[in-house]
């Protein structure tokens, strides 16, 4: 009986330890630098997204931009060394987030074979798309995958949230209780059962980082819906205010009704900073600023080189300030 109790305590303890929701680690240092988006203050602008996340001494590249070489050039313009970045997050499979992967990997792997060598994505990242063109072109990652793996790179596909580093979660696929449909087009995909279904970008994923001031949410296109994303972050990590929201939330072409509904929501989550980059839309940024009751120092259009730093807030650069 006593042995059984000890066994149960051990099993229970490991389960509680893994969940971490009750007492998640708070990161101490966090700096996020935008490396690809449309507005370019330093380097080149493009329809795409990428950002470097530096957290408690660890460095993570979040998305890789659209063109093969824009993030590479922008990192050089910003004097950012990517050869000490082991991990890449791909928020989803769209061309404007995965285009730079191979060029970036090739640029650093001679110097450091592990650099940009581990890619994290959510279940669905490699699903074949069967939209208007040949299936493989509908998912550019299917073209990139062999070369990346030949280079020694590894893809890690996550079916559920995972704490990559203390206080840093990769979301995995994001549940969608709210009917946000923030994507363009009407493509279809072949899912894991072989069924052809609507392409809702099921792999759309984000990073959630826990700080003493609240959560920091980093998103690529936000196809899962920004409200769904934030609610998921608050479920996975803890139900804290959102200290910062950074990235694209794909509302540039939203209807007035959608924009009004969406802009009203972040007040509930007490979003304190917002860098609206990529497909967010300029009007969306200004609407969020107004609805959140925040000023231009806390809600800005994202530009290349823009920085959010824990304790410092946002440095948007000269054009977006
Ligand atoms: Zn997308
Ligand atoms: Zn995008």
Confirm if 217 and 168 have CB atoms less than 8 A apart: no
Token representation of residue 239 = 């139900």
Alpha helices (runs of H) in 54-133, residue ranges in sequence order: 70-77, 95-98, 101-108
Ligand 1: centre distance to CA 12 (Å): 39
Residue 20 has pLDDT above 90, yes or no: no
Ligand 1: centre distance to CA 223 (Å): 7
Q: Which residues, by Cβ under 5 Å, contact ligand 1, an ion?
A: 94, 221
Q: What is the dihedral of CA 212, 236, 185, 271, to 10 degrees?
A: -30
Ligand 1: centre distance to CA 24 (Å): 30
Model pLDDT, residue 186 = 75
Ligand 2: centre distance to CA 65 (Å): 9
- Least reliable range by pLDDT among 17-26, 60-69, 241-250, 297-306: 17-26
Ligand 2: centre distance to CA 16 (Å): 36
pLDDT in tens, 216-265: 999 999 999 999 999 999 999 999 999 999 999 999 999 999 999 999 88
Q: Which residues, by Cβ under 5 Å, contact ligand 2, an ion?
A: 96, 221
DSSP element (H, E) containing 262: helix 256-264
Model pLDDT, residue 133 = 63
46 alpha carbon, distance to own chain's centre: 17
For the chain, list the domains and their CATH numbers. Answer: 26-315 (3.60.15.10)
Model pLDDT, residue 223 = 97
Ligand 2: centre distance to CA 17 (Å): 35
Q: How far apart are CA 262 and CA 173, in angstroms?
A: 20
Confirm if 277 and 246 have CB atoms less than 8 A apart: yes
Model pLDDT, residue 130 = 84
Model pLDDT, residue 187 = 85
Q: Is the pTM of this model over 0.85?
A: yes
Confidence band, pLDDT 50/70/90 cuts, at residue 138: confident
Model pLDDT, residue 7 = 42
* 51 phi-psi bin (left φ>0, alpha ψ -120 to 50, beta other): beta
Q: What DSSP string describes 188-247?
A: EEE-TTS-EEE---TT--EEEEEETTEEEEEESS-TT-HHHHHHHHHHHT-S--EEEEEE
């Amino acid at each position: 009986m006593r042995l059984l109790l000890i066994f149960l305590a051990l099993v229970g303890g490991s389960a509680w330890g893994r969940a971490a929701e009750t007492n998640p680690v708070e990161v101490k240092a966090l700096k996020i630098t935008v490396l690809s988006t449309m507005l370019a203050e330093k380097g080149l602008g493009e329809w795409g997204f990428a950002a470097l996340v530096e957290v408690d001494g660890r460095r993570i590249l979040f998305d890789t931009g659209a063109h093969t070489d824009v993030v590479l050039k922008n990192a050089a313009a910003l004097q950012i060394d990517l050869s000490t970045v082991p991990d890449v997050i791909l928020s989803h499979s769209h061309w404007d987030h995965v285009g730079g992967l191979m060029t970036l990997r090739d640029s650093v792997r001679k110097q450091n074979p592990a650099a940009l060598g581990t890619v994290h994505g959510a279940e669905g990242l490699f699903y074949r798309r069967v939209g208007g063109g040949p299936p493989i072109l509908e998912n550019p990652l299917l073209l990139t995958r062999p070369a990346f793996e030949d280079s020694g790179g590894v893809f890690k596909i996550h079916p559920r949230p995972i704490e990559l580093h203390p206080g840093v979660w990769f979301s995995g696929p994001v549940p969608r209780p709210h009917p946000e449909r923030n994507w363009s087009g009407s493509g279809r995909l072949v899912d894991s059962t072989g069924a052809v279904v609507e392409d809702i970008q099921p792999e759309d994923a984000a990073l959630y980082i826990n700080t003493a001031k609240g959560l920091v949410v980093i998103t690529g296109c936000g196809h899962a819906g920004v409200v769904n994303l934030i609610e998921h972050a608050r479920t996975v990590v803890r139900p804290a205010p959102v200290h910062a929201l950074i990235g694209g939330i794909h509302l540039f072409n939203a209807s007035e009704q959608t924009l009004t509904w969406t802009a009203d929501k972040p007040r509930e989550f007490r979003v304190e900073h917002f860098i609206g980059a990529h497909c967010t839309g300029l009007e969306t940024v200004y609407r969020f600023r107004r609805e959140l009751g925040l000023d231009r120092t806390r809600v800005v259009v994202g530009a290349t080189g823009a920085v959010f730093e824990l304790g410092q807030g946002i440095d948007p650069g000269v054009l977006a300030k």
